[in-house]
Amino acid sequence: MRILVVEDEEALAEAIARGLRREGMAVDVATDGTTGSEKASVTRYDVVLLDRDLPGVSGDDICRDIVNSGALTRVLMLTASGSVTDRVDGLSLGADDYLAKPFAFPELVARVRALGRRATPATPPLLAAGDLRLDPAKRVVTRKGEPIELTRKEFGVLEVLLCAGGSVVSSEELLERVWDENADPFTTTVRVTVMTLRKKLGEPGVIDTVVGSGYRVAEPVRQVE
């Protein structure tokens, strides 16, 4: 899941980003409205955490732009005021959710995950390919019933490939969906991650390389309820 945090309190923004990264999310940060607006316009984020009171472009204007763009991006407004009037105002702008500061971090994570599920096609309880199973909610991967320990990036790559249902996913898209803006687009990070993922998944191979295009899951992908 790709997240943008737009918050002018730098310490808070970085704390939120660190916490969400520990939850396996790719997180970008903007500490002013102008930068936040630019990032939201060029990158497809699943969820934008947006402070209303920002220097430069206001959070309200960023929210309007995201809504008017027709993007599936979900907006979670963060604000120091939790009054009913402010909540109604934020939701009237098109925000999908509203959270007043200070907030409990587990609640923030729960709300972000809920919004993320709405930003993408519904994910089934389990994704399967052959004898491989991936549980997006529990973040568990098994093969032949045996658990496989994956890093957050390896899990993210496998989840994106399985969600693609056998379609080819380019390295560029994997980089965008699983990593954040600090990832070097010319790096071999994706190739190395896929290589280690293949080793952990074992034989027969699960991930095919489509030369010049990207990667896809070799086995037919099915949804398991």
pLDDT band at 16 (very low <50, low <70, confident <90, very high): very high
Spatial CB neighbours of 84, under 8 Å, sequence gap ≥ 6: none
- Residue 122: per-residue pLDDT: 53
Q: What is the mean pLDDT of residues 74-100?
A: 78
Q: Which single residue is written with the structure tokens 């936040």?
A: 36
Do 214 and 130 share a structural domain? Answer: yes
Do 202 and 146 share a structural domain? Answer: yes
Do 64 and 95 share a structural domain? Answer: yes
Residue type, 22: R
Q: What is the mean pLDDT of residues 90-102?
A: 82
What does the alpha-carbon distance between residue 74 and residue 81 come to, in Å, rounded to a whole number? 21
- Residue 57: per-residue pLDDT: 93
- Which domain range does residue 29 map to? 2-119
Do 148 and 87 share a structural domain? Answer: no
Q: Higher confidence at residue 177 or residue 61? A: 61
In the beta sheet, which residues pair with residue 51?
78
Do 150 and 113 share a structural domain? Answer: no
Q: Higher confidence at residue 198 or residue 86? A: 198
- Residue 199: per-residue pLDDT: 93
Q: Residue 57 carries which DSSP code?
A: S
pLDDT tens track for 156-209:
899 999 988 889 999 888 888 888 776 766 678 888 999 999 999 999 889 999
Do 133 and 36 share a structural domain? Answer: no
Q: How far, CA to CA in Å, does 70 sit from each of 65, 66, 94, 101, 114?
A: 9, 7, 11, 28, 19
Do 139 and 75 share a structural domain? Answer: no
Out of 79, 97, 119, pick the residue that ends a domain.
119
Q: What is the mean pLDDT of residues 89-114?
A: 86
Do 27 and 102 share a structural domain? Answer: yes
Out of 72, 99, 119, pick the residue that ends a domain.
119
**pLDDT greater than 60 at residue 121:** no
Out of 119, 153, 185, pick the residue that ends a domain.
119
Q: What is the mean pLDDT of residues 49-65?
A: 91
How many structural domains is the chain composed of?
Answer: 2
- Residue 111: per-residue pLDDT: 92
Q: Higher confidence at residue 18 or residue 92? A: 18
CATH number at residue 30: 3.40.50.2300
- Residue 221: per-residue pLDDT: 73
- Residue 87: per-residue pLDDT: 65
Exposure letters 38-70 (e unless 16+ CB within 10 A, then b)? ebbeeeebbbbbbbbebebbbbbebbeebeeee
Do 112 and 134 share a structural domain? Answer: no
Do 146 and 74 share a structural domain? Answer: no
**pLDDT greater than 60 at residue 12:** yes
**pLDDT greater than 90 at residue 30:** yes
Do 150 and 100 share a structural domain? Answer: no
Do 146 and 109 share a structural domain? Answer: no
Q: How far, CA to CA in Å, does 93 sit from each of 42, 66, 163?
A: 21, 10, 31
**pLDDT greater than 70 at residue 224:** no
CATH number at residue 170: 1.10.10.10
- Residue 220: per-residue pLDDT: 76
